[in-house]
A and B are shown apart, each in its own frame.
Chain A
């Protein structure tokens, strides 16, 4: 794989991961997820 293509692929992967990570930081999701996780115990 060409270096530019490799760099682009890595940038794409990191961008997607960052996007998903920000989903975990949304207040609505944090509250919803936390209440579901906490409900187990």
Chain B
């Protein structure tokens, strides 16, 4: 989509974008709650369920650049409509599937594609094009905080839905909620513009080549890989770690609540800070702090208090990488292909997520504990802290007018 002066009001973009991300991130966050009822009802193993969720995450990452490219080319509105429909279809299919391939196709493939069309990268493209550069990072922080809030909100809501209406009806209710993205997408419908010509025009291929050939983009991708690894490893394996160490189940749910609560504050703060200081320093500090916090958590005696402190601090750092990473991309490469480039960086995040979940389990089976994976998480944190320091936040020089590159 060609770039011009902002044309949707910031409050409209923020309100609709935030509500869309609240729904899209929130609905998916509680999928683990369906493991027990689905496997019991259908007679499947947890591996079947876990495989479908793994496929979902991979498809979310793989479809991200494509969905982003379509949003940049044809507008986020259309992609959001398609994403919303796929989301509802996937949830309904998840409820009705009676075979493992059917369940994997709906919960894995359809929902993965739906998420790529309804989450951060798509909404950030609209924010990038419609919010002035000086408020962009803050606005991305607001949208990311909304996504974090969705995750925080939907776990108790989905637990209540399953308990009150049964797991299948709960999925149908969520499918209706996913359809609510459609009317909200109208708020992000950008007016069509005449195609840009001359120096302002950049093809998709040129944008991809430019980004992948840019050292800062490579560093950002490396950092986001680490983010995915750490967050998913902790999210997936933390309850098991606590159980191994004799913690009561209530401690795990308390930790879950604290991560969710502080995640909201962390993402907002990171976006707000991004408008006031170099984003590479924010990213570097986030990854360094994660390494320190994990290290302290492992060194300190494991008690409910240490778990809660760890959950609160890690929660604050949880998705706080999202606003600065995407804001740097807009700063360097402009906003014309922001959703697509955000999709590529997110793909790297999902590869890290996959490895965090899989390697955590694999090394646990091999060694009998999580020590090695915790060590890897710390080392990766140090690596990402260093990798973000050389990121150059200056716009690339390609002969574009200054307004388009900003």
- A residues in contact (CB < 8 Å) with B: 17, 20-21, 23-26, 29-30, 32-41
Other A-B pairs, 19, CB within 8 Å; known A17-B152, A24-B156, A36-B36:
A20-B149, A20-B156, A21-B257, A24-B155, A30-B253, A30-B254, A33-B33, A33-B155, A33-B256, A34-B249, A34-B252, A36-B32, A37-B249, A37-B252, A39-B36, A40-B35, A40-B46, A40-B239, A41-B243
B260 to chain A, nearest CB (A): 8
Prevailing SS type, chain B contact patch: helix
Query: Is B3 positioned at the interface, with any CB of A under 8 Å from its CB?
Result: no
**A29→B261 contact, CB < 8 A:** no
Q: Which of B32, B153, B156 contacts A29 (CB 8 A)?
A: B156
Query: Is B12 positioned at the interface, with any CB of A under 8 Å from its CB?
Result: no
**B240→A21 contact, CB < 8 A:** no
Query: Is B165 positioned at the interface, with any CB of A under 8 Å from its CB?
Result: no
**B261→A17 contact, CB < 8 A:** yes
Q: Which of A17, A29, A38 contacts B252 (CB 8 A)?
A: A38
**A24→B32 contact, CB < 8 A:** no
Q: Which of B149, B160, B239, B261 contacts A37 (CB 8 A)?
A: B239
Q: Answer whether A24 and B256 are a contact pair too, CB < 8 Å, given A36-B35, A39-B35.
A: yes
Of A20, A21, A25, most B-chain CB atoms within 10 Å: A20
**A23→B35 contact, CB < 8 A:** no
Determine the distance from Cα of A34 to Cα of B239 in the docked complex, in whole angstroms.
9
**B35→A38 contact, CB < 8 A:** no
Determine the distance from Cα of A33 to Cα of B29 in the docked complex, in whole angstroms.
13
**A24→B239 contact, CB < 8 A:** no
Contacts of A32 on B, CB cut-off 8 Å? 159, 163
Q: Answer whether A38 and B249 are a contact pair too, CB < 8 Å, given A17-B261, A17-B264.
A: yes
Query: Is B301 positioned at the interface, with any CB of A under 8 Å from its CB?
Result: no
Query: Is B250 positioned at the interface, with any CB of A under 8 Å from its CB?
Result: yes
A21 to chain B, nearest CB (A): 6
Contacts of A25 on B, CB cut-off 8 Å? 257
Determine the distance from Cα of A41 to Cα of B243 in the docked complex, in whole angstroms.
8
